[in-house]
Amino acid sequence: MTASVKHLVVRLFNAFGLDIRRRRPATPERASMAGGLAQLARLGFQPRTVIDAGVASATPELYSTFPSASILLIEPLAEFEPFLQKICSGYNAQYVLAAAGQAPGSATLNVHADKVGSSLLREVEGASVDGTPRTVPVVTIDQQCAERKLLGPYLIKVDVQGAELQILAGATRTLQKTEAVIIEVTFFGTMIGGPQFYDIVHFMKQCGFVAYDIFGVNYRPLDGALAQVDMIFVREDGPFRRSHAFATPEQREASTREMKAQFAEQAKKLS
């Protein structure tokens, strides 16, 4: 069917109130938090403790994928405490109302109007978008795991608007028994002093972790540039990287057959 005929057909259907568009494939579940966690579980990973730093209202995929794990929730905003209590009522979870950081103490949290964008850092756009300063207690992941006797292997999720490396610096002992870390990573210096993509990758490499999965793609409204992604890092010498092969012989054979068939079909259309 030529392009002009297709256009006439579409116009005809539209005249009868029918919207005809090319069907686009749904976003694969694999490219999501749920898909990334399901991949870890499918390969046999079962953490004894899940640590959610920067909870906000909840990270439901994290808890439901590993329902038998102990869960530690770390969240500095009192406004989210009812959500923390709700999570604890449904899972083997406990929470601390504090910011996670490099050392115990207190810090100024810049509380944004939307709450979820609140950060220990300031925005490059200026004070008008920083929100309202609030003093909050600070705890470390190492401290909390030791005090609460939470055991590894651990799974850590960090979503803290620019304070990622501060938190991980306070989790050096915990990271030694951690198999996977989920981090929100930015490609721009939106937070003053905050890490960008290459800083996170370099730090994690020094800690013995490498990139394993990417999801949660976010484009900035300013110009449509890729601004943020969520990444899963796993131990470089861990179970998820025992093999560096691309496929089994059977999988390669099946892929070759499929590609040959596609090539034959494309060549046929040219003749």
Residues 78-99 pLDDT 10s: 999 999 999 999 999 999 999 9
What's the pLDDT at 107?
94
What's the pLDDT at 121?
86
What's the pLDDT at 28?
47
For residues 75 and 100, is the Cβ–Cβ distance under 8 A? no
For residues 234 and 195, is the Cβ–Cβ distance under 8 A? no
In this structure, CATH architecture of domain 27-270: 3-Layer(aba) Sandwich (3.40)
Residue with structure tokens 């449904």? Answer: 90
What's the pLDDT at 183?
97
What's the pLDDT at 21?
52
What's the pLDDT at 268?
86
Domain parsing of the chain, residue ranges: 27-270
Which segments in the chain show pLDDT lower than 70? 1-28
What's the pLDDT at 27?
43
Dihedral sign for Cα atoms in the order 20, 23, 26, 27: negative
Residue with structure tokens 């090319």? Answer: 22
Residue 21, helix vs strand vs coil = coil
Q: What is the DSSP string of 179-211?
A: EEEEEEEESS--BTT---HHHHHHHHHHTTEEE
What's the pLDDT at 241?
95
